[in-house]
Homo-oligomer: A and B are copies of this chain.
Amino acid sequence: MKKGLKIATIGGGSSYTPELVEGFIKRYNELPVKELWLVDIEEGKEKLEIVGDLAKRMVEKAGIPIDIYLTLDREEALKEADFVTTQFRVGLLDARAKDERIPLKYGVIGQETNGPGGLFKALRTIPVILDICREMERLCPNAWLINFTNPAGMVTEAVLRYSNIEKVVGLCNVPIGMEMGIAKLLSVEHSRVRIDFAGLNHMVYGLDVYLDGISVKDKVIDLLTDPRNSSFVKNIQGLGWEPAFLKALNALPCPYHMYYYKTRDMLEKDLKNAETEGTRAEVVQKLEKELFELYKDPNLNVKPPQLEKRGGAYYSDAAVRLITSIYTDKRDIQPVNTRNNGAIASIPDDSAVEVSCVITKDGPKPMAMGDLPVAVRGLVQQIKSFEKVAIEAAVTGDYNTALLALIINPLVPSDTVAKQILDEMLEAHKQYLPQFFKKISV
């Protein structure tokens, strides 16, 4: 077996990179990374250097022989890579801030993955990821593409359906966060808890929960709806749920379900935040500025604890755990975004789903989940419809298709409002959406 892996990280200048590096250091014994290529674009050069220097200090401190390379040349980074990870953000946080603020002007939640904001993130991101795929076909056709870039579900499906790269996995920290939260609620080690996950990215349900392999779903639902746990639950679930709802649902929603089952409350919260502390993108921008100030400190040679507030907690663990399981053919169970292949009934076989999988060297193998509970089947199908139409819009640059995606999104209250949002957002993101404008400019 080839020793000494090459990892290419697109968007290497991200503030998340120290987590990733920490992960590679921790698992070095199992996962012998030889080269880590952090690649970014011209606009990200300064950040890349700051975070790259920290990464170098981290591996030096750890005494691990991983070589860190910083580059703006994506092709050089991809060449013969074993794993490609993507954590880039087309248009940076400024674009995300627009994804959030523009819909709010029309009284609509932005939501950067499955909402109107997510549509625009998809429109900006999918053409870039498909470019990367074409380069991978040429430069590292056997590499695995591990995508953290949101909207992770749509990106994964776009790669599966519109590129020749089959070795792609979409990764999200929501499911692992749910498992860890439930473990805390049960006061047990995370490793003793396992959830059967099924659904879509940011629309995933825990169909069952096991403690030491025995179902404890009823107990967990009781705990989640016990008023004595309310502050704890709000912490992991956001606003908390109506107890009778959770009992009737008989499954665990994820925090993002708040957008769909508590739309009015979330809208109010988003509007209030936008007026006070700023949207999530704006808060993160401030956090990032502070983080990069920290990262500059030449004495810092470990991941600073402040990074956890950034929101991507466990990403490091999730990503490196996944890469390690693929590399070592570990056959452990992890929830990832992958080709459905019949695991979830009513979703096409070739669609991406987020589902508990056995991770092998041949990739994730989803566990058959059968039919989703009747009460959740509709919403999951609706978001999948949205995703599929949004992907088509991203690939074709067709105005009407983009409008259709917005209108069928459950957060959008009317076709007329959809058109207003679409027109304003297309204009606002114009520079990142050449597929929608090139025809006009001709």
Contact = CB atoms under 8 A, between A and B. Distances in A.
Contacts of A368: 340-343, 365-368
A404 B248 contact: yes
B333 A358 contact: yes
Given A242-B416, A366-B367, A385 B377 contact: yes
A416 B241 CA distance: 8
A262 B416 CA distance: 8
Contacts of A367: 358, 365-368
A419 interface: yes
Contacts of A247: 400
Given A349-B370, A371-B342, A242 B403 contact: yes
A345 interface: yes
A434 to B, nearest CB: 20
A264 B361 contact: no
A240 to B, nearest CB: 10
A213 interface: yes
A116 to B, nearest CB: 14
A320 B331 CA distance: 20
Contacts of A331: 331-333, 358
Contact of A213 (B213, B333, B361, B408): B361
Interface string A1-12: 100000000000
Contacts of A1: 212
Interface in A378-429: 378-379, 381-386, 388-389, 398-401, 403-404, 407-408, 410, 413-419
Given A248-B403, A346-B346, A407-B261, A378 B369 contact: no
A401 B248 CA distance: 6
A360 B215 CA distance: 11
A385 B378 contact: yes
A249 B378 contact: no
A107 B215 CA distance: 40
A442 interface: no
Contacts of A294: none
A76 interface: no
A440 interface: no
A404 B249 contact: yes
B361 A210 contact: yes
Interface size class of A (residues with CB under 8 A): 35 or more
Given A362-B213, A382-B379, A242 B415 contact: yes
A70 to B, nearest CB: 32
Contact of A414 (B213, B261, B398, B418): B261
B374 A385 contact: yes
A378 B370 contact: no
A261 B381 contact: no
Interface string A250-266: 00000000000111110
B366 A375 contact: no
B360 A213 contact: yes
Contacts of A374: 385, 388-389
A264 B417 contact: yes
A213 B344 CA distance: 25
Contact of A263 (B212, B389, B413): B413
B342 A414 contact: no
Given A341-B370, A369-B342, A214 B388 contact: no
Interface in A206-261: 208, 210, 212-215, 241-242, 244-245, 247-249, 261
A329 interface: yes
A376 interface: yes
A405 B166 CA distance: 29
Contacts of A210: 329, 360-362
Given A262-B416, A375-B385, 5 more contacts: A242-B407, A242-B419, A262-B415, A379-B385, A379-B408
10 contacts: A212-B361, A245-B403, A245-B419, A249-B404, A331-B358, A346-B381, A365-B367, A374-B388, A378-B378, A378-B385
